[in-house]
Amino acid sequence: WAHVQELEARYANIQRPVLIIWGDQGDVLEPQIPERLLKKLPDARLQRVPDAKHSPHQERPLLCARWIRAFIERE
């Protein structure tokens, strides 16, 4: 965990926008992680997929692709 905490400490140095796509039905990671990431990443955006688990890009690929495309085109 020390390594993970070291990585998290460097999140504030990220100077690019970040898109977080999160499956709300996931059972692999803690459910509060997206909010923690939003607080630590200076320019992060969150898109939630209510009916997806840990791999929303595989479970809802067209939706995720649309969000990614819009995110890239905005930047």
One-character DSSP codes across 31-62: TTHHHHHHHHSTTEEEEEETT--S-HHHHSHH
CA angle at 42 for the pair 6 and 57, rounded to the nearest 5°:
85
Separation between Cα atoms, residue 48 and residue 32, nearest integer Å: 12
- Average pLDDT, stretch 5-16? 90
What pTM did the predictor assign?
A: 0.85
- pLDDT at residue 68 tops 70: yes
- Residue with the two structure tokens 């320019």: 43
Q: What is the pLDDT of residues 14-55, one digit of tens each?
A: 999 999 999 999 989 888 999 999 999 989 999 999 999 999
pLDDT over threshold 80, residue 75: no
- pLDDT score at 37: 93
Q: What is residue 5's predicted lDDT score, i.e. its pLDDT?
A: 86
